[in-house]
Structure 1
Amino acid sequence: MKLLTVVGARPQFIKAAAMTRVLRVAGDAFQNVMVHTGQHYDDSMSAVFFRELGIPEPDINLGIADLGHGAMTGRMLERLEECFMRVRPDRVLVYGDTNSTLAAALAAVKLAIPVGHVEAGLRSGNMRMPEEINRILTDRVSTWLFCPNGAAADTLRREGIVDGVHVVGDILYDVVLHERARVLKEVPLNRWEVENRRYLLASVHRQENTDSEPRLESILSALRVLARDMPVVLPLHPRTHRILEERNALSLLDGLRVTGPLSYLEVHRLMMSARAVLTDSGGMQKEAFYHRVPCLTLRDETEWSETLELGWNRLCGADHERILAAWAHIDSLPRIDGAQPYGDGEAAVRILDLLKAAP
């Protein structure tokens, strides 16, 4: 069976690592062709993850990046269609909610190639998010909808989608469990001159925050206040750095411990020992939960409502005062420690079994 996997952004590389491991075990049962759209293309956002997580180099790299949403998705759709016609895969596997996800799903379904969507059924309820549009449309055209939890499957059911829906668990949890011991062994915390539970880890990259000057200034202002009490480590996303540079506003980072983009292992080392995580990343909300580190989410909604219900996550939006108030009450919510709504770390095995069993 020929499986073609499409990736384009950093979170997808991480998820592809879990599939790569089970595909190696499957041996000759699958021929896996990996296509990188190029959406994240520089070494710090792409190649380092392939090296660090043992993912084979992509068989095809389309090199499509630095375009607006419409132009990027359209260019990817055109090039992926050509690629699919040449490779002729039996199945196409996509991850998450990026432009690469949507373009691959549309290109495949128009050629009558069945699509498997990993992380199906997630919804934030915010149609201003490009990711929300991407995930909804991808779910509509997918043959297999691989849900990370029961809530995602329930969402699809309410939308009238019941065929091909499978609760497999969160593939990101597969990677966290597999790499946790290695992270502790290979990445010393003193690399950043911080002490266990005596610093904060932050990340800001979502379009809704970076494209809005007031929202970004409000978030960074709150982080600077928090940095008066303990170090705030901020791995700066290239998009955020570029926007601040264009606005002549790099001084908004004063007082923060700013680094360049970090590798997967480095981010997880910092996350595991942080006092708390402040982020607008969907993946980091879950990963903080897996490490049982409190999270303050710099968005007005989240796809991962279970982390809120279990007391490990709080929504702060981009409001300076809300962020500081949430930090002041970081320990006020009762936290449920043993719950695991995202499976047992075997999502990739289940996905491959389902793809293999289908006619």
Structure 2
Amino acid sequence: MGGCPAQTDPNTAWPGFCPNSGAAYLYAILFGLTLTTHIVQSIIYRKGYSWVIAMGALWQTACYVFRILSIEYVTNDTYYTVWFVLMLLAPLWINAYVYMVLGRMVYNFTSSAKILGFKAWRFGLYFVLLDIVAFVVQAVGASMASGNNISQSQIFRGLHIYMGGVGLQQFFICCFIGLAIRFQRQMKRDAPATDQRRALRMLYILYAVLTLITVRIIFRLVEYSKGYSSGIPVHEAYQYVLDSTLMLIALVLFNIVHPGRIMPGKESDFPSRKQRKVIGKKNVRGRMADALPVYEFNNNGHMVEPAAEAERNPTYPKTDATTVTYGYVRDLEDRGVV
């Protein structure tokens, strides 16, 4: 009875239960391992945008490092607040990474490089911005609910704000899934069978990760629906099973099927802003439009409109030295245009 300082110390920051330090050490190690793997993979595959998923793994790891410190120093409110806030917010990085990956899939596996009018490089950006909005709302609520010497009314207010941010995040996820399904249908029309198999492997991972995030969101909504009086916050097994384990699985899934394997090479990255400006935003095509000669150069080296026959017939076989298909847009640099 009296052997757990988190319960017996009158100044403890813990809410009435004895935390398991062994479990905290285990999850700190597991999240640390997936963090290391993501860093190595981002270097091997040369995918700079993978810093986002690495950041999610870093926050999860840091969460459990501070949880260990909080278990060791039970009266330190700062350690408790830091791990609590990191645990609530870390999954937003994983969510943002899902948005970024699908945006690149739209570019790589469609001929138009857009879904419902959203260009691939804008597609991910818009949803990441929406994710940031949800992030700010959740951060405000979490910080209000985890302050020092605060009243029950402020705790409830903070938790309700946090839950509102979580609900907002889930609404954005539902909208995103609708666009992902639309992408899947368009990709089946545009991409060859071999490319479809690669794309579907990645897309199913995205669906699985979003499902894990959704289960975690439902858990958090139920957990704090009655504040701390629901009993769930004082049973850490729920948090381990329905939060941390789900996010660990999500991180590992991206280790197993990394976007760098599905979309390898520099040519799979978005064209730069400068390249899009030279080509013209309306003319930018996806990588599945490689067979369509969309840009030509006259004898003076100036870009001209595509040939009428090529516009009418995407399979028109005109590929000479003066023709640039979008799959080789970086040839513009060799020609001195970019």
Same-fold call, TM cutoff 0.5 = no
Calculate the TM-score normalised by the size of structure 2: 0.26
| Greater share of strand | 1
Structure 1 or 2: more helix by fraction: 2
For normalisation by structure 1, the TM-score amounts to 0.25
